[in-house]
């Protein structure tokens, strides 16, 4: 039995769905083909701790110094950061809407 490999896009989609509360963990596992729920919690932990470089690291590569492969261009890193900030903004908007709705009740 080999290790499962998930694309960076899958990891980001899973974290976005989990943080926004759109799907339950089991629904996320079914939708994206994730084998173990601890994998989801690991990705969410990376996101919360700001370890965004980990989403692009290959299996077995634990980058600590330099935070990731050097082959990424500055534009690619900026694009990744913009996508991250957009996702964070979407999550905050959803949270604010839910909070506003709860205060009405």
Residue 74's pLDDT is what? 75
* Dihedral (Cα; 40, 23, 16, 46), 10-degree rounding: -20
Q: Which residues of the chain have pLDDT under 70?
A: 1-3, 58-72
The mean pLDDT of the chain is 81
In a domain, 90, yes or no: yes
Residue 30's pLDDT is what? 92
Digit-coded pLDDT (tens) for 71-93: 567 787 788 788 888 888 888 88
In a domain, 51, yes or no: yes
In a domain, 2, yes or no: no
**Cα distance between residue 33 and residue 4, in whole Å:** 10
User: What count of other Cβ atoms lies within 10 Å of the Cβ of residue 57?
Assistant: 15
In a domain, 31, yes or no: yes
Number of domains in the chain: 1
In a domain, 3, yes or no: no
Put simply, whether the predicted model's pTM sits higher than 0.75 gets the answer no
**Cα distance between residue 104 and residue 67, in whole Å:** 44
In a domain, 80, yes or no: yes
In a domain, 76, yes or no: yes
Residue 71's pLDDT is what? 58
- What range defines the domain where residue 97 resides? 8-104
């Amino acid at each position: 039995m080999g290790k499962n490999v998930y694309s960076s896009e899958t990891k980001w989609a899973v974290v976005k769905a989990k943080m926004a509360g759109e799907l339950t963990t089991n629904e996320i596992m079914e939708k994206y083909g994730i084998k173990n729920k601890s994998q989801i919690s690991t990705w969410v932990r990376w996101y919360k701790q700001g370890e965004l470089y980990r989403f692009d690291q290959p299996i077995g590569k634990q980058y600590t110094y330099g935070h990731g492969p050097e082959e990424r261009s500055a534009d690619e890193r900026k694009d990744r950061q913009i996508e991250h900030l957009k996702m964070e903004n979407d999550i905050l908007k959803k949270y604010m809407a839910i909070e506003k709705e709860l205060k009405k009740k």
